[in-house]
């Protein structure tokens, strides 16, 4: 599938284009749409965003490469980013992060065998008072422990098994 000409994204793309005086200013929201569609900012997504905005693909790729919220390699359907900055670490985030990787059978930045979960550590998600916490596809889940996290993993597995389990 593609983002260009896709009715699923057309209104959102047009909404972003209408927000800005110059088209190139919509590069970041369009990169999010490409990442949503493909699961990462791949060469097809880079080229599509460049074409929509009348930019050189190298310009779009440089922006995607600069910001950590864009992944330039494939990720699982659920991108789990655990905050391990000092305040969270003091509340058990390092141990939680290690447990989560073990629970899913992955190394840092790795994806589970079923392709569903990628685990990364990040620095400061600004929810220190709710640690251990993580974001899943940029949505916060907070005050985590092993039981709550196992419930979330089961919920996301069930969600992924639904017939319409595409990325967007």
Every domain range in the chain assigned CATH 1.10.10.1590: 7-66
The helix, strand and coil proportions of the chain, stated in percent and rounded to the nearest 5, come to: 50, 10, 40
The confidence score (pLDDT) of residue 1 equals 57
The pLDDT of residue 166 is 53
What per-residue confidence (pLDDT) applies to 168? 46
Class of domain 78-161: alpha beta
Question: What is the pLDDT, as a whole number, of residue 106?
Answer: 97
DSSP type of residue 17:
H
Delimiting residues of CATH 3.40.30.10 domain(s) in the chain: 78-161
Helical spans, DSSP H, in 54-145: 57-66, 86-89, 93-104
Mean pLDDT by runs of 10 across the 168 residues of the chain is: 82 94 95 90 95 96 91 91 93 96 96 95 91 94 97 96 67
pLDDT for residue 79:
93
**Helix crossing, 146-161 with 93-104: angle to 10°?**
40
161, 159, 40: which is closest to 111 by C-alpha?
Answer: 40
- 7-66 fold: Arc Repressor Mutant, subunit A (1.10.10)
Task: Specify the pTM.
Answer: 0.77
């Amino acid at each position: 599938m593609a983002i260009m000409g896709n009715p699923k994204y057309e209104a959102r793309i047009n909404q972003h284009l209408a927000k800005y005086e110059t088209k190139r200013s919509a590069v970041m929201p369009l990169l999010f749409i490409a990442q949503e569609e493909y699961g990462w900012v791949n060469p097809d997504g880079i080229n599509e965003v460049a074409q929509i905005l009348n930019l050189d693909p190298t310009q779009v790729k440089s922006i995607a490469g600069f910001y950590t919220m864009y992944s330039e390699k494939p990720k699982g359907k659920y991108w789990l980013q655990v905050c391990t900055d000092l305040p969270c670490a003091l509340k058990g985030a390092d141990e939680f992060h290690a447990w989560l990787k073990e629970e899913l059978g992955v190394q840092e930045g790795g994806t589970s065998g079923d392709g569903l979960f990628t685990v990364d550590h990040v620095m400061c998600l600004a929810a220190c008072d709710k640690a251990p916490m993580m974001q899943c596809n940029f949505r916060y889940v907070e005050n985590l422990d092993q039981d709550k996290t196992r419930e979330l993993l089961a919920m996301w597995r069930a969600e992924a098994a639904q017939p319409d389990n595409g990325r967007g």
